[in-house]
Structure 1
Amino acid sequence: FIPVIAFLIWKAFADAQMSFLGFAGWLIIGLFIWTITEYIMHRYIFHFYPSSKIGKRIHFIFHGVHHDYPNDAKRLVMPPSASIPMALALYFFFLFILPAGTIFAFYAGFLIGYLFYDMVHYALHHANFKNSFWKKLKQHHMLHHYSDSTKGYGVSSAIWDKVLGSDFIKKVNDRPDTAE
């Protein structure tokens, strides 16, 4: 997706003749829209459980296998055979609804968000973080896998889980009585 992002950035300036400020604004909007798209797709598409046999098979291939084998490095990012058609469908959807000339900057931001999500998702499963932000995000995602898969749909951010009520409830741990 990096060559596509570079092409979109070039198109934003060369063809759409966007100002730098306009470009930055639409890029940020694209990044923001990615965050809610990530949440919606994970919650309502990847965690939709079909009843038909073929539906169950498709679900398993796209996301179920990741929950069955969460640390399998080959099953952490969506394969190009799925991500490219999905990216094209979303591109044409956004092209239809966005103001003329904004798609290039917007979609560059959207795809940057997607790449960030993929890299973060891989790191959450395989990196040992020292930074408290990343440690908390990793804990959030691991709770989704190992505690309650009906919560914690945000991968690259837990913001939408907090806003939309799918965050994990923090329990107050009673300290054991240490008096002798």
Structure 2
Amino acid sequence: MTMGQDVYTVDLMKPLVFQVGHLGHAYQEWVHQPISAKHTPRFFQSDFLEFFTRTPWWVVPLVWLPVVAWNGMLSIQRGSSLQKAATLMVVGVLVWTLLEYTLHRFLFHIKTASYWGNTLHYLLHGCHHKHPMDGYRLVFPPAGTAILALPFWVLVRLLFPYEAVPAAFGGGLFGYVMYDVTHYYLHHGNAINDYTRKLKKYHLNHHFKSQKDSFGITSSLWDWVFGTLPGNKQK
């Protein structure tokens, strides 16, 4: 990082995380100017910290699908019928789609300007907008997912009876797995039909045309509900 008169420039050849905070108000413009090369930049000088920032896509289903299955079986053991447990998991998936939209729109795209605000935003989501084709920073590391899942677990416990909690939570977790796998596919997979072609175009619009719309990843449902479809003047 170099410093001029009130102007900061990030050195892309050096670890990035502790540089971006110095951009101040210029961070928002910088982070939304994507570098489309399939390059994995270095985040930290420490090899230990750097290891935890890189996650291959297949780690997500490998780690979390067994947890989804275990939660479904736990609801049945607590007294839910198979049909009820399956229905609760579908409800959990639907709740996740709303959470997916809400997190993406209001947390991942929060405006920051302070040193630590910029730094945390870059780690959470800004890095993905700066390097959208980085295949190792497209899905959440399991440790990060576990932290973000805690408030969702608390919410489910408040909304559902004892026997229903695991299935509803498992459904939400399954929705998350589908989200992360779909997200990776939209960046690195080849469209195989009209639906996947449209979904891919829809998401890449968010990266390369307008970051103020197209917040849904697995579906455009909530963009339609809340008026954030591409070209909608009400967003």
**Is TM (by shorter chain) over 0.5?**
yes
Q: Which one has a larger percent helix, Structure 1 or Structure 2?
A: 1
Structure 2 alignment gaps of length 5 or more: 1-63
In structure 1, which of residues 166, 169, 172 is the aligned counterpart of residue 231 of structure 2? 169
Aligned pairs for 1:17-166 within 5 A: 17-166=79-228
Residue 93 of structure 1, CA deviation = 2.4
In structure 2, which of residues 43, 46, 68 is the aligned counterpart of residue 5 of structure 1? 68
Residue 21 of structure 1, CA deviation = 2.2
Identity across matched positions, percent: 34
Cα distance in 2 for partners of 1:130, 1:97 equals 39
Residue 8 of structure 1, CA deviation = 0.4
Cα distance in 2 for partners of 1:56, 1:129 equals 34
- TM score, norm. by length of structure 1: 0.90
Question: How well do the aligned residues superpose, as a CA RMSD in angstroms?
Answer: 1.2
Cα distance in 2 for partners of 1:123, 1:132 equals 15
Cα distance in 1 for partners of 2:162, 2:76 equals 14
Residue 79 of structure 1, CA deviation = 1.4
Determine helix, strand or coil for the equivalent of 1:24.
Answer: helix
Cα distance in 2 for partners of 1:97, 1:9 equals 17
1:177 is matched with which residue?
Answer: none
The AA in structure 2 aligned to 1:64 is: G
Cα distance in 2 for partners of 1:21, 1:130 equals 33
The AA in structure 2 aligned to 1:9 is: G
Cα distance in 1 for partners of 2:125, 2:90 equals 28
The AA in structure 2 aligned to 1:61 is: L
- TM score, norm. by length of structure 2: 0.69
Cα distance in 2 for partners of 1:6, 1:26 equals 13
Structure 1 alignment gaps of length 5 or more: 171-180
Cα distance in 1 for partners of 2:201, 2:108 equals 20
